[in-house]
Chains A and B, each alone.
Chain A
Amino acid sequence: MNHYVSLLIFSLTVASLFTAISKEAENRRTRYFLTMLGYMVVGSLLAGWLMYFIPW
């Protein structure tokens, strides 16, 4: 299992559980889930690319 698959599984699971315990209304939950998933996946990739330029 490579790092990206781990990241995806982790993000999907955590976003699902957070959505289920959130107090969002039923019709807003899909958007909440996708937003949280996007933050985790895109944020991690962005942080990974930014760290590429750190020399140590």
Chain B
Amino acid sequence: MVPAFYPRCVRGSLDDVRNQRAPLALDLIGTNTYHSNFMSNVVLTCIAAWLVPGAGHLILGRWRRAILFFVGVILLFALGLYQQGVLFGLTPGLFGFLKFFADICIGAPYFLGRLLDWGTGDIRAYGYEYGNTFLYTAGLLNSLLVLDTFDIARGRKQ
């Protein structure tokens, strides 16, 4: 089934994304619509994978891996916050940007945490550095999952 949250205008080829069917030459004769729909759905799947860890794999029908990825990334995120890690905003300098990039890759949990003031952290806390490491790793692993989703959706990987 096509997820309901997808806009109707780009739903057309989601089943082909899931079944890893690249557009046939016949589909492309005289029109680019099929290919653009296919790519739109790949991009939307990657955005879903970024926002909710494991969602991309769930959309592509890899539900066992999706559950593992969701639990793994959320576990790292929760333990990072529990150990007084910080959800960094954008600050000046290269390292400021890298910390922000690693954290924002977590997706929706990052925005939720910032909204609810979860990741304020405490630099004097016993687990401060551990907490930050857990949060960075959760984000960077999620970015790897987005790339994995992209590869599966394009048919480069099972």
Using CB atoms and an 8 Å cutoff, list the residues of chain A in contact with chain B: 1, 3, 6, 9-10, 13-14, 16-17, 20-21, 23
CB distance from B82 to the nearest CB of A (A): 8
Do the beta carbons of B130 and A16 come within 8 Å of each other?
A: no
A3→B141 CA distance, assembly (Å): 21
Q: Flag if B83 contacts A6 (CB, 8 Å).
A: yes
Chain B residues in 8 Å Cβ range of A13: 72, 75-76
The answer to whether B157 touches A23, judged by C-beta atoms less than 8 angstroms apart, is yes
Assess whether B133 is interfacial by the CB under 8 Å rule. yes
Closest 9 CB pairs of A and B: A21-B148, A17-B72, A13-B72, A6-B130, A20-B65, A20-B68, A17-B141, A13-B76, A13-B75
Cβ of B134 within 8 Å of any chain A Cβ, yes or no, is yes
Interface size in chain B (residues, C-beta < 8 A): 20
Q: Which residues of B contact A1 (CB under 8 A)?
A: 79, 82-83, 127
B69 and A17 within 8 A (CB): yes
**Residues of chain B with a CB closer than 8 A to A17's CB:** 68-69, 72-73, 141, 144-145
Give 14 CB contacts A-B under 8 Å: A1-B79, A3-B130, A10-B133, A10-B137, A13-B75, A16-B72, A17-B68, A17-B69, A17-B144, A17-B145, A20-B69, A21-B65, A21-B144, A23-B157
Residues of A within 8 A of B79 (CB): 1, 6, 9
> Complex: how many Å from CA A3 to CA B127?
8
Which residue of B is nearest A9, CB measured?
A: B79
* CB proximity of A53 to chain B, nearest CB, Å: 21
A34 to B148 alpha-carbon distance, docked (Å): 22
Q: Give the Cβ gap from A13 to chain B, nearest Cβ, in Å.
A: 5
Q: Is the CB of A21 within 8 A of B145?
A: yes
The CA-CA distance from A23 to B134 in the complex, in Å, is 25
Chain A residues with CB below 8 A from B127, complex form = 1, 6
Asked whether, in the complex, the Cβ of A16 is within 8 Å of the Cβ of B134, the reply is no
Which residues from chain A contact B65 at a C-beta distance below 8 Å? 20-21
Complex Cα–Cα for A9 and B78 (A): 12
